[in-house]
Structure 1
Amino acid sequence: MELVKKEEPTLPSLPTTMLPALTVLTESLGIPREMLASDEEIQYAWRDLPRELREIPVPLRGELVARMCVAVSTGLFDGAMNYIWNASILQLRTKIRNFGLPVVAQIQQSDFEEKHLVELQDSKLLELCLKLNLVNEDGFFFLDQCRDIRNNFSAAHPTLGTVNDREFTTFLNRCVRYALAESSSPKGVEIQAFIAAVKGARFNGTQCSTWIQRLQETHDAQRQILITMVHGIYCDPNTSEPARLNSLDLCTGLKLSFTSSLRSDLINKHSEYAAKGDEPRHTASLQFFEKLGLLILLNETERHSIFYRAVDRLWNVHNGMNNFYNEPAFAERLLELSQQGAIPETVLDNYVATICCCYIGAGHGVSWAAIPAYSQMIKGFSPKEIAAMINLATSKENSLGRRVANSSNCRSRFKDALSLLDPASIPNVVKAEYEKLIK
């Protein structure tokens, strides 16, 4: 990524007549020179000005910034503060317009048009910018301090006192840093149009990409609200299948950017369905997490239930009619689940035994189309799962042990399964049994 070097504006030096003119002016009015900023304060403020102006994008260096510079050159720091504050407020209003006034109205749940924006008090404007994530919490804190300083120490109102060059430079720095330095702003997503699109016809590729991009360009808070709404749409029993698929497509495209706060909201909503006994929505929510590969977020009991059902269905298909043809789909689903985190302890033995039994078959063949899925799961066995695999194979009290003991074909296939393991992963407690089985 290439860094763009910002260039400091080159300001003219203060004319030799400027500072002496202030002395002449105060003398002619019969007031002490000390009533205005000293020559030293003016020179220091003028010296520091280019560094702050550098951070303001060129398009924003307009009339108010020019007036501020003129005010600084004459030591009118109270007037300079007022000019830069007004420039900041105008830019914050522009950011809200870019976000979208109709979207703000939807978020506020009240009318919000141009007149409402213009009439908004500075304090309320800052609160709205914080809510829309146009300024962060630090920005809100410092700009709110600037608002208070501007109201009490600038030329906007009768002042409580004066500010010196350092206080002005700090004020300017905060206005630039939190309001003016970044000219771009996130765009809001029109909620009604978004929901209508999700609930409409099946997305095509372009439509899905467009909505994902819009959600990426909006701020975290609104994205969190919309993704939570999409989860609700998916879980609604009355939702059409195209809308469910649209919901999954959007969340799949955005899941890498899910914040911890968003994940927490999704889990809270999921738990709420369970607490209310809303079985249809709770079941759909489980499927939602499974499809997105986010089972790791669920609690141990729910993960056990999902894995147990998947293992049980594979075992029933393996022992049923036409198992050679029916196993692959169930094996691939279990593989997908296994890649979403550690296997729950409560289902680990059953999981290992089922995969190994399916891999070695019952002595009269295997489902070759499912073997790649079984092989991948065996290669991914943890040391604890490897220990279970070997212990089960050396006991005749389970299906795997009986098959290995009673069928030469199964013993041969089990050796093949053991060869898929990395010897370095074999736990010491089963190393001796492993050596016997592999021979």
Structure 2
Amino acid sequence: MTYLWLALLFVAAAVVAGVAFACQGSRRGESRRHWQAAGLAFAALAVLTAVFDSVMIGMELFHYDTSHLLGVTVGLAPIEDFAYPLAGVVALPGLWIWLTRRRARGGSERRHGEPRLKGLIPQALLASRPVSWINTAYPFAAAMLLTTRQIDWVLVVGTFYFLIPYNLAMYGINDVFDYESDLKNPRKGGIEGALLQPRLHRPMLWLAAITNIPFLLVLALAGGPSAWLPLLASAFAVVAYSVAGLRFKERPVLDSITSSTHFVSPAVVGLAIAGAEVTPGLIILLAAFFLWGMAAHAFGAVQDIEPDRQAGIGSIATVIGARRTVRLAVVLWLVAGLAMLATPWPGPLAAVIAIPYIVNCAPYWNVTDPTAARTNAAWRRFIWLNYGSGFLVTLILILHWSLTS
């Protein structure tokens, strides 16, 4: 099968799914705006695809069998490569609209005769925060790929695990145990967190277990004893952050440490499975990443000070206050950036990535507790800043690959 036919099959499936989701989820009059937004998104992704693929092909990081290509290129990127961003912008926005519309229409109470598990999968997907999936899958994949320099079944399985099941557990468990406080939080019920119907709480916990445990066992067997402790620490952090009795999210400072572990541990797991050599540069890099994660959690907690206090939840922000928490986040991002200057080349280039986060956070240097909710605007920018940072990190990783090949 040529790349063209494979790409067409992929796009065709995405078109069918995307149109079906959009038609079921959109209100009257929204369809045109939906497809206009999808067109703009594809234009942006097409430019990024052309740039990234041309750079990687130009550096001879990979190549295609030309006998399976149509022969049309944009820069050095074959036209077939553009099928995947096209499929993404067609299918994913429609899926998101469908998921959020079902939530809005479904109500919060179980209707008489309604199946107990009805709506579990859509609600679980929404709860898993699809917009943030990449934040945990990317560290694992990058760590393994840069260490082993090959794509094998362990890399594929591990990346998939940290992409979806891991986030399903991390955020799904949190949404179950935070339900009462989330009811008081106006930003919940969409991109920043689901409001799981109470009837779905126990099924959600079972779904998290059955979708995570098999992957953890497979990765433990594949990685051997060196991977057991990182995997255990990663799984424990996911559970301990939210479940009753542990609730690390209600223990100031420990909440930020645990949250950062959620994002750094996939990288550590990848390094352990790949058998990476522990060097001072690697330790500094992971420490910088950990400080970045703590800063992100601390700043994110500021916007929830009022609903958290109303629900009796103690976080780093509710304890030390909005102003001090924002300042702490700025300092942590600054130290993380400075730490990258001590890593081997081209690591120091990543120091610049701290700047957008500091600039985004700094305007709230003097924020007060009563006005803390205003930081939500910056938090929403933070979500998209992560994609820009991922773009820069990828370029740096490509440079590192070319220098060490």
The structure with more radius of gyration:
1
**Structure possessing the higher relative contact order (Cα contacts under 8 Å, 6 or more residues apart):** 2
TM-score higher than 0.5: no
Q: TM-score, normalised by structure 2?
A: 0.28
